[in-house]
Amino acid sequence: FFSRRAHPDWNGVSVIVTAGPTRETIDPVRFFSNRSSGKMGYAIAGEAAKRGAEVTLISGPTVLPDPPGAEVIRVDSAEEMYHEVLSRYHRADLVVKSAAVADYRPAETFQHKVKKTDGTMNIEMERTTDILKTLGEQKEHQILVGFAAESENVAGYARGKLDKKNLDMVVANSIVEAGSGFQTDTNKVTLIGSNGMEKELPLLTKQEVAQAVLDEAARILKEKSQ
Ligand code: CTP
Ligand code: CA
Within 10 angstroms of residue 170's Cβ, the number of other Cβ atoms is: 28
> Which class would CATH give 8-103+124-225?
alpha beta
113 is in an annotated binding site: yes
Positive/negative CA dihedral, 42, 9, 87, 209: negative
Show which residues are catalytic: 34
Q: Residue 167: nearest ligand to its CA?
A: 1
Atom from ligand 1 closest to the CA of residue 149: 20
CA of 100 from ligand 1 middle (Å) equals: 7
pLDDT digits (tens, 9 = 90+) for 171-196: 999 999 999 889 899 999 999 999 99
Query: What residue segments make up the domains of the chain, in order of their start?
Result: 8-103+124-225
- To test ligand 1's pocket by mutation, which of 101, 138, 144, 171 has the most ligand atoms within 8 angstroms of CB? 101
Exposed / middle / buried, residue 149 (Cβ in 10 Å: 0-12, 13-18, 19+): buried
Task: Evaluate if pTM is beyond 0.90.
Answer: yes
The reported pLDDT for the residue numbered 33 is 98
Task: Output the furthest CA–CA distance in the chain (Å, rounded).
Answer: 66
